[in-house]
Amino acid sequence: MKAQFEDLKGKKVLVTGATRGIGRAIAKSLAEQGAHVVFNYREGKEGVANEMVEHLKGLGATNATPVMFDVTNTAQMKDSLDAFAKEHGVIEGLVNNAGISRDQLVLRMKEEDVAATIDTNLKGAIMVSQVLSRGFLRAENASVVNISSIVGLMGNAGQIAYAASKAGMVGLTKSLAKELGAKNVRCNAICPGFIDTDMTDALKEETKESYLSGIPMKRFGSTQEVANLVNFLLSNASSYITGETIKIDGGLYI
């Protein structure tokens, strides 16, 4: 099921990590809402970016603009986003979705994996928010949605750095909401549980069964269900919700 939010039409929204998985579904869903979808891609992936532009326009996007940056490269990010603002005006919505996981038990954890996880998932989200914050102050109804994870709330053996980065996003969310609330800039986090993506497809049948047994709804979520929640939070339909952390996990956390 898909809800339509009229005010997303023409809204300039940046989705990070939209080339695959959940981010791609969010970008597609925003295109169906008629938004101006902005998405980043990494150097060398111009082919994927061009294919996405055509796809998003075909779905109904007012416009679709790729911006080249890695979320761990702040200078590149700033250059690309400043160039976008010069040509198209301020970005009014942000979905901090780009993320990685390099899972390892604490005894085997490598420092470079910890650094890469925190740099991408947490520092990346903080820096994109920082670079866009001046524009948010000039936008009428800016909204930021951070894609955290249920693991950031529950913890998980073998995911120390990932869980810490996702818990950090909850702190980022609450702080940005407090700092910019008076300027009508909202910021919320969502915590997906297991979502059907390439990652869950690759799980062995018995591992899937064991995960499913812990989910009251006995199924994984769909990327469309995540996109529906993101659209709601980006839209003015959620105009008095800020600093909130919403779980979307079929009851896993209960």
Q: Which residues bind ligand NDP (CB under 6 A)?
A: 16-17, 19-23, 40, 42, 45, 70-72, 97-100, 120, 147, 149, 192, 194-195, 197-200
CB of 109 vs ligand NDP, minimal distance in Å: 18
C-alpha span between 100 and 147 (Å, rounded): 12
| Smallest distance from ligand NDP to CB 78, Å | 14
- Extract the tokens encoding 137: 């102050």
The DSSP result for 92-103, as a single string, is -EEEE-------
Q: Quick one: tokens of 89?
A: 């005006």
| CB closer to ligand NDP out of 34 and 250 | 250
Cα-Cα-Cα-Cα torsion 95, 179, 155, 166, nearest 10 degrees, comes to 30
Alpha-carbon gap, residue 236 to 91, rounded angstroms: 16
Task: Please say which residue, 67 or 139, places its beta carbon nearer to ligand NDP.
Answer: 67
Does residue 162 carry a catalytic annotation? yes
Nearest-approach distance from CB 120 to ligand NDP, in angstroms: 5
Rank residues 33 and 197 by Cβ distance to ligand NDP and give the closer one.
197
CB 254 within 8 Å of CB 216: yes
CB 66 → ligand NDP: shortest distance, Å? 12
Q: Which of 162, 211, 240, 253 is catalytic?
A: 162
Q: How far is CA 27 from the centre of its chain?
A: 10
**Among residues 139 and 226, whose Cβ is nearest to ligand NDP?**
226
Residue with smaller CB distance to ligand NDP, 21 or 168: 21
41's tokens: 């891609």
Please report how close the Cβ of residue 40 comes to ligand NDP at its closest, in angstroms: 6
Spell out the residues 6+ positions from residue 192 whose beta carbon is closer than 8 angstroms to its own: 22, 147, 149, 150, 221, 226, 248, 249
Give one DSSP letter per residue of 48-117, joined into a string.
Answer: HHHHHHHHHHHHT-SEEEEEE--TT-HHHHHHHHHHHHHHH----EEEE---------GGG--HHHHHHH
Active-site residues, by number, are 162
